[in-house]
Amino acid sequence: MIARLWHGWTTPENADIYENLLRTEIFPGIAAKGVTGYRGIRLRRRACDEGVEFITLMEFDSWEAVKKFAGEDYERAYVPPKAREVLARFDARSRHYEIREHQSY
C-alpha cells in the first residue's frame, strides 16, 4: 500500500471553512472519481505558529492507483480552486510512502 501525505495551512478564521470544504466537497469528490485502489483519506488538524495546519493522508493499493488518481506527475498536489481561496500556503508536491506495517486497535 502507498500513503500520500500533504500539508496545507490556513488562518484561524478560515480553518473551519476549509475543513467544511474538505468534508462536504473535496473528499466526496475524490471518492466519486471511483479510482480503483483508492482506500480512503484521513484528516489531521492542529493550531500552530503559522495559523492552522492540515494534513491529509490518502491510502492507495499501489503506485498504479496513485497515478490513476494524480496522473503521471503523481507528486503534484491536488488542490482545487476553492481550497486555494482559503489556504494561506500549501505543499505544491505530495510525498508518498510505502506502508510497511498497519496495525488497528
Q: What is the CATH number of the domain that holds 74?
A: 3.30.70.100
Note whether residue 54 is domain-resident.
yes
Q: How many domains does the chain have?
A: 1
Distance of alpha carbon 9 from alpha carbon 46, whole angstroms: 10
Note whether residue 34 is domain-resident.
yes
Break the chain down into helix, strand, coil percent, rounded to 5: 35, 40, 30
Q: What are the grid coordinates assigned to 40, written together?
A: 480512503
Distance of alpha carbon 2 from alpha carbon 80, whole angstroms: 22
Q: What is the model's pTM? A: 0.92
* Residue ranges making up the domain that contains 91: 2-98
φ, ψ dihedrals at 79, nearest 5°: -130, 100
Note whether residue 105 is domain-resident.
no
Q: What are the grid coordinates assigned to 105, written together?
A: 486497535
pLDDT of residue 105: 82
pLDDT of residue 69: 95
Tell me how far the alpha carbon of residue 12 is from its chain's centroid: 19
Residues contacting residue 47 through CB under 8 Å, at least 6 positions apart: 12, 53
Look at residue 58 and tell me whether its pLDDT is greater than 90.
yes
